[in-house]
Structure 1
Amino acid sequence: MVLSSIYVFLVGFTNCFFFKISWSASDFSLEGDYLLGGLFALHEIEHETTLYSAETTECFRHSSSESGYQMLQVMRFAVEEINNSTTLLPNVSLGYEMFDHCSNTKNFNSILNLISKNGAIKPKEKLNNYQPKVIALTGPYGSTRTMTIAPLFTMDLIPMVNYGASASALSNKLHYPSFVRTIPSNKDLIEMIIHIIQWFGWNWVAFIGSQDDYSSDGLKLFNKYINNTGICLAYQEGLSLNANYSLALKKIDKLNINVIVVFALPQYATKIIKAAIANNIRDKVWIASQAWAMNQQLPREPGIRKIGTIIGITERLLSVPGFNEFVHKARGTTDVGHNDSEGEIKSKICNQVCDYCTLLTAEEIINENPTVSFAIYAAIYTIAHALHKVLQCDMNECHKDTVAKPYMLLGEIKKLDFLLNGRQVKYDDDNDPTISYAVVLWRTDVNPPQFEVMGSYDKLPEITFTIDNSLLPWHNNGSAPFSNCSVECKAGYSRQPEGFHSCCFTCKKCQPNTYVDFSRDPYTCFPCAESEWSDEGSTTCKTRSVVYPQFTEIPSIIVMGLSATFDECLAVTSSTLPAD
């Protein structure tokens, strides 16, 4: 009854759906034996208003997002490649239904379309009898958008094989039982950021994010994982799109913080970097989270070289072989430069419209941010491999008469372990993937700017992390910038706390017969034992030793002579005393 009420409420504001229009030859739709859902942000709402009433939005009326269109093309390519394969799903074809997903709260129309059957949603009695329009889906991009719609899929165990939501909460299988992702969670991303900070010996850092689930989750994890690492979070803030970015950066500069973690979505990161340039913030180290580490526009921003060094974290394998050729072929059969009129747009299905997409050239699509390209590619292949198992396919055919329900695919996904372009694809107990990160350096000193791989982080078969320091052209005379609250104490000096942060201290020289052991406690000069001693400013105590002089040594002769003289004096004195 509760589920029925939820559906009735949601159907109430899907005012541009559930009517049949024949437009299967578009980028958004393809017929097949089994349909996959795809959610991509081809447009972005710059300022979302609070939702007080049930309503939907037409995404094409908002700002374009070319990277979202590239993501959609990656899914189309993966499906075409699988359909052309003679071994994965030999006699089975995959189709898709994809939508422009531009809002956190106003795109339920497309969601209801995907979980419907023949244009309608009916209350379900048994999970075994439920067969929605799609057997699985990928997307959307972003943690907030994913967490908003996930319950509508996961409560029916429809696999959500996501390419762009990294919030750690999504690993909770009690809340999101059918959520699977092909990108690492924020937990892994934060661990790698901490590895980078420790590699260079920094401990005085700032953390800037945006006001969304992605950033707030990252900040929470960062605060948790820096415990007992010696790293101090000197400044933290979550910024809205209309916040005072200049004020936040000036505060950071005043605190002498030289390392800034920007854990934010691209639109926020863009504002932060542009504000840094405008306010003449210089010679900082900027650590870019995966969401904007491969941003294609920012490296070309005038004046970006002055703000310092930008280090990004991204997936190790970004390229998808064959994709470029696919795009060139697709553009060759598309009327490039043709722009749909508003009348034509209104005749198409809601949020399956992209008026700017046909204006893009093949090069423009290919050169968009590739950060999640392999993640989308892996998501589609994950679904295909699971379907291969459910349909009991061999090298020649699949058993098409076998019923394939979404929950059956989910069971097979949990057991998958296959190679895709040399990369292992498998999932742990939380349905999270294997970890393989790359550290990239923004080379803004060359034209055009480049992203140079300078390090890596893997967790299988064991944790390995490395950075090639020689590739870093530091802005500070070639040496790593200093970003510590205090200069480390010299040997023999103990730290004396100063202020709130443990990283801030003065140094005091240990007194004689005391010592300081940094591995034990850098804040205390410990007393030596009774049988030990030390000089001023020591790091260890020395054992006291008893020395017996030789009989023939001059000091021994002198002592013996003095002793004999003393004995004689005593004898003379005693002989002159009167008897009792």
Structure 2
Amino acid sequence: LLTEDVIGYSLAGDITLGGIFSVHVDTNHPVINFRESPQPLQCNRFHLRYYRFFLAMVYTIMEINASDDLLPNITLGYKLYDSCYNEVRSLMGAQWILSGKEKVVPNFNCNKDIMPLAIIGDLPSKASIPLARILGLYRYPQVSYGSVHPSLSEKTQFPSFLRTIHNANYEVFVLAQLLKYFNWTWVGIISSDNDLGRSGAQLVSREIENNGGCIAFNEILPIVNFMGSVYRIVDVIQKSRATVIIAYCTIESFIPLIEEASIHNITDKVWLGTTLWTISSDFSKNEIRTTLNGSLGIATQHGNIPGFKEFLYNIHPSVSLDDLLIKTFWENAFQCVWPENGTYNNSSPAPHREDIVWCTGKERVDSIDPNIFDVYNFRVTHNVYTAVLSVAHALHQMNNCVPGKGPFKNGSCADIYNHQPWQLLHYIKHIRFNNTAGEEIYFDANGDVPLYLDILNWQMFPNGSNQYVSIGGFDAQAPKGQELKIQINKILWNVGHGQIPVSVCSDPCPRGHRRATIQGQKICCFDCLPCSEGEILNPNSDSKCLKCPEDQWPDSMKERCLPKTIQFLSYDEPLGSSLACISVLFCLITFSAFCLFIAKRKTPIVKANNRELSYLLLISLMFGFLCSLAFIGRPNLKTCMIRQVLFAVIFSFCISVILAKTVTVIMIFSATNPDSKLKRLVAMRIPVYIVPVCTMVQIILCIVWLARAAPFAEFNMAAEIGIIVIECNEGSRVLFACVLGYMGLLAAVSLLVACLARKLPDTFNETKFITFSMLVFASVWLTFIPAYLSTKGKQTVAVEIFAILSSMAGLLVCIFIPKCYIILLHPEMNSKQYITGRNTRNRGT
């Protein structure tokens, strides 16, 4: 180790605490030629904010000494040393603190009476780690306020190390939670080329990938000769589609990168920072603050230190004569030089003589820009405050120990003025007290305090000023899933981001589309393919689709399976109610014709057309119109069995009557011929048997059909997309075809017989009308076949009802309307004389 006079800032007391602080943040390394004693390390770049950490320990000890509750009648002293953010300086400071001599003597304690009982520090992990290894050999308590390296939690390596700041591994988890919260899945990572940076980058990459995210790029910033890498990384940032970049870097390596990014005007990125640089005051250039505007960062929890702001406002070189750093602070804070120095000290470059501004001592600390010397937001400063209080509370408990009830062998206690380091370490590990915010402070088995992190948002204002705004926090003690809390309304994003920025490789798939990974790309880069018909997006995996159950169908967005709409021809819908009304209307018309025929049953026109068969035909037409009602409504077993049977029997009966009427006309007119052989058939009244026989055949067919394979209601899932059609399954298709075929046979025979008899003479010869009606009947049912086959669902039933009504209406109109017309409007034609006269004229002709 380099040895030199390493004078620090000290204050005598009954018992003493040591403190190591990185007030300067850079050192000049001397050239070592091994021929002469090396020159001491020269410290550069005085850091105003880090000096505040230094003053926090001074203030806390002053407050403890003034307290009547904590360590009463005991005065605490301190020995503070500036390590200049350097490992070697940190070890030199520890030697000075522990040996008690200006000329340090390693492994010797030359002033045992005032030997510090514990060391507070250091800030950087790189300085705390070697120091903790040495102090751990003696179980000498060390409480750091800023070292976050995860390895420091391993008590096998660092048994006497404790800290009032979190383990850096927790930052990894918080960063991953932030990405998940804002749905940022395509992220870049930049880390420092050191142990903390590399391990942190690996952990955060793993956590991001576990949450379904991807790493767009992972770049490392070298410690030395880094500008070439900075240029390359900035080029990668500009070309990448990733909007969010995690900077897991130390402040030393991050500043050159962000300066280069600001030169290239990269303002469309969201930087996620760790505690290594988030609340740094080193970003003095306005361009850098513009680049970082809208970024998010993790910071240690904000804390309150009562009276500390007033203490800072009252510091002055004329008051703190023993503080070797106060004048350097003054010169850097007010950009002036004390007259006795004549120039700037080694921590600042010397300007031209004519540009020197002399310090007068009248400068006021409360006039310093809060962005440079913040006296309102205490984070790491509060950690220093907590660290000193932790040791003080441990000493207080040691001092109040009752012999016989102590924590050591046989209930013994330790002497606060003469004890072993490991005894104080025991008390520090087991302290529990509430800080000024009422929060309980204690150390867990790893020497860490309860975890709570603030989430900050960099916000820059038009006047060039900026501030860190707390927009949420992470509380490790909160219930699982509720650790992270964000107030989105407080966030101000960078230029061009009015809403939450998007950072994805591929835009999210529209609803009802699944992700299809692109070969050779990461899972965050994908194409979107629509789910097939009848499928929804898998709620547990957006890369798969699920087929809905048979009785369900996807909603319009293909996100849920909904029960299919049940469809049947009902009375509640316009089509069903219209067909029902038409059916009833035609039934009433037929009934009116029937009543008219009953009333005029003795008139020649009714008698001349076989009125008994006409009555039967009208009755069958009425039932034919009404049977269509059985096709309307929700199908069930009974309606399915009844409606087709009714339709078949009634139609067969109707056509049988028409056949009987036609045969009757032919037999009567043929019997008038003297040579006709049909005279004997007329006497046998064959037409009377046609109706029951033909109808009975159909009834037998229907009975066999119902007995063998009766129709039943079924749910047709495939008839229409997204609809369940309740319809009647006809059971045996062969028997159903026999029933229909028999009706077709009767209709064909009736049409043939009617065509043969259409030229028979008589004014009221019905065969012409029967022929025309049967042509209408045949046309309707021949048209029905293609129409029936081309429709689906309830329209199929509607087509069948329409065919029934049309064919029945054709029979009614063609056969009975002309007779009703004569009966009602031309009664003079409804007379025997007219019929006889017409017949006479026909014969004369």
Superposition TM-score, scaled by structure 2 size: 0.57
C-alpha distance in structure 1 between counterparts of 2:297 and 2:31, whole Å: 33
2:88 counterpart SS class:
coil
Unaligned ranges ≥5, structure 2? 322-326, 328-336, 347-357, 403-412, 571-628, 649-732, 746-845
Structure with the largest fraction of strand: 1
1:145 counterpart SS class:
helix
1:522 counterpart SS class:
coil
Instruction: Select which of 447, 453, 456 maps to 1:437.
Output: 453
1:362 matched residue in structure 2: 365
C-alpha distance in structure 2 between counterparts of 1:372 and 1:358, whole Å: 31
Comparing both chains, which one has the higher relative contact order based on Cα–Cα distances under 8 Å and sequence gaps of 6 or more?
A: 1
1:443 counterpart SS class:
strand
**Structure 1 residues 15-42: Cα deviation after superposition (integer angstroms, max 9, x where no partner):** 2159xxxx7xxx6111122222211112
1:480 matched residue in structure 2: 500
CA distance change for structure 1 residues 358 and 455 in 2, over 3 Å: closer, same or farther?
Answer: farther
**Residue 537 of structure 2 corresponds to residue 516 of structure 1:** yes
Instruction: Select which of 413, 416, 422 maps to 2:431.
Output: 416
Residue pair 1:144, 1:213 contacting (<8 A) in 2 also: no
Deviates more, 1:384-393 or 1:109-118: 109-118
2:395 matched residue in structure 1: 387
Q: CA deviation at 1:182?
A: 0.6
Structure 2 matches for 1:427-576, cutoff 5 A?
427-447=443-463, 448-462=465-479, 463-474=482-493, 475-476=495-496, 478-498=498-518, 499-519=520-540, 521-528=541-548, 538-541=558-561, 552-553=630-631, 557=643, 561=648, 564=736, 566-567=738-739, 569=741
2:239 matched residue in structure 1: 254
1:577 matched residue in structure 2: none
Structure with the largest fraction of helix: 2
CA distance change for structure 1 residues 339 and 157 in 2, over 3 Å: closer, same or farther?
Answer: farther
1:286 counterpart SS class:
strand
Q: CA deviation at 1:56?
A: 7.5
C-alpha distance in structure 2 between counterparts of 1:314 and 1:357, whole Å: 35
Give RMSD over aligned pairs. Answer: 4.0
CA distance change for structure 1 residues 535 and 57 in 2, over 3 Å: closer, same or farther?
Answer: farther
Q: CA deviation at 1:509?
A: 1.0
Q: CA deviation at 1:490?
A: 1.9
1:523 counterpart SS class:
coil
Code of the residue aligned with 1:287 in structure 2: it is L
Aligned length: 534
C-alpha distance in structure 2 between counterparts of 1:480 and 1:399, whole Å: 58
Q: CA deviation at 1:135?
A: 1.4
Deviates more, 1:311-320 or 1:485-494: 311-320
2:319 matched residue in structure 1: 333
CA distance change for structure 1 residues 380 and 526 in 2, over 3 Å: closer, same or farther?
Answer: same
1:484 counterpart SS class:
coil
CA distance change for structure 1 residues 131 and 178 in 2, over 3 Å: closer, same or farther?
Answer: farther
Instruction: Select which of 393, 407, 411 maps to 2:422.
Output: 407
CA distance change for structure 1 residues 539 and 97 in 2, over 3 Å: closer, same or farther?
Answer: same
Q: CA deviation at 1:312?
A: 2.5
Percent identity, aligned pairs only, is 24
2:161 matched residue in structure 1: 179
Q: CA deviation at 1:287?
A: 1.7
1:6 matched residue in structure 2: none
2:116 matched residue in structure 1: 134
CA distance change for structure 1 residues 535 and 529 in 2, over 3 Å: closer, same or farther?
Answer: same
1:45 counterpart SS class:
strand
Residue pair 1:154, 1:178 contacting (<8 A) in 2 also: yes
2:4 matched residue in structure 1: 16
1:425 matched residue in structure 2: 441
**Structure 1 residues 201-221: Cα deviation after superposition (integer angstroms, max 9, x where no partner):** 211111222223332332132
1:292 counterpart SS class:
coil
C-alpha distance in structure 2 between counterparts of 1:401 and 1:182, whole Å: 23
C-alpha distance in structure 1 between counterparts of 2:273 and 2:28, whole Å: 23
Q: CA deviation at 1:165?
A: 0.6
C-alpha distance in structure 1 between counterparts of 2:738 and 2:33, whole Å: 107
Deviates more, 1:154-163 or 1:294-303: 294-303
**Residue 159 of structure 2 corresponds to residue 143 of structure 1:** no
C-alpha distance in structure 2 between counterparts of 1:62 and 1:221, whole Å: 34
2:299 matched residue in structure 1: 314
Q: CA deviation at 1:245?
A: 2.0
1:226 matched residue in structure 2: 208
CA distance change for structure 1 residues 122 and 468 in 2, over 3 Å: closer, same or farther?
Answer: closer
2:349 matched residue in structure 1: none
Q: CA deviation at 1:506?
A: 0.9
2:727 matched residue in structure 1: none
1:266 matched residue in structure 2: 251
Q: CA deviation at 1:432?
A: 0.8
**Structure 1 residues 477-512: Cα deviation after superposition (integer angstroms, max 9, x where no partner):** 521111111111122211111243221111111222
C-alpha distance in structure 2 between counterparts of 1:283 and 1:544, whole Å: 48
Code of the residue aligned with 1:309 in structure 2: it is G
Code of the residue aligned with 1:91 in structure 2: it is N
**Residue 376 of structure 2 corresponds to residue 377 of structure 1:** no
C-alpha distance in structure 2 between counterparts of 1:267 and 1:199, whole Å: 30
1:5 matched residue in structure 2: none
CA distance change for structure 1 residues 39 and 195 in 2, over 3 Å: closer, same or farther?
Answer: same
**Structure 1 residues 311-358: Cα deviation after superposition (integer angstroms, max 9, x where no partner):** 23223324422223223433141475548869xx99xxxxxxxxx999
C-alpha distance in structure 2 between counterparts of 1:544 and 1:324, whole Å: 70
**Residue 79 of structure 2 corresponds to residue 97 of structure 1:** yes
Q: CA deviation at 1:46?
A: 6.4
C-alpha distance in structure 2 between counterparts of 1:415 and 1:187, whole Å: 24
CA distance change for structure 1 residues 51 and 507 in 2, over 3 Å: closer, same or farther?
Answer: farther
CA distance change for structure 1 residues 525 and 564 in 2, over 3 Å: closer, same or farther?
Answer: closer
Unaligned ranges ≥5, structure 1? 1-12, 125-129, 347-355, 574-580
C-alpha distance in structure 1 between counterparts of 2:213 and 2:418, whole Å: 54
Q: CA deviation at 1:167?
A: 1.2
Q: CA deviation at 1:300?
A: 5.1
Q: CA deviation at 1:181?
A: 0.7
CA distance change for structure 1 residues 288 and 517 in 2, over 3 Å: closer, same or farther?
Answer: same
Q: CA deviation at 1:400?
A: 6.3
2:575 matched residue in structure 1: none
Q: CA deviation at 1:151?
A: 0.4
**Structure 1 residues 167-203: Cα deviation after superposition (integer angstroms, max 9, x where no partner):** 1111111111111111111122222222222222211
Q: CA deviation at 1:453?
A: 2.0
Deviates more, 1:422-431 or 1:377-386: 422-431
Give the number of the structure whose alpha-carbon radius of gyration is greater. Answer: 2
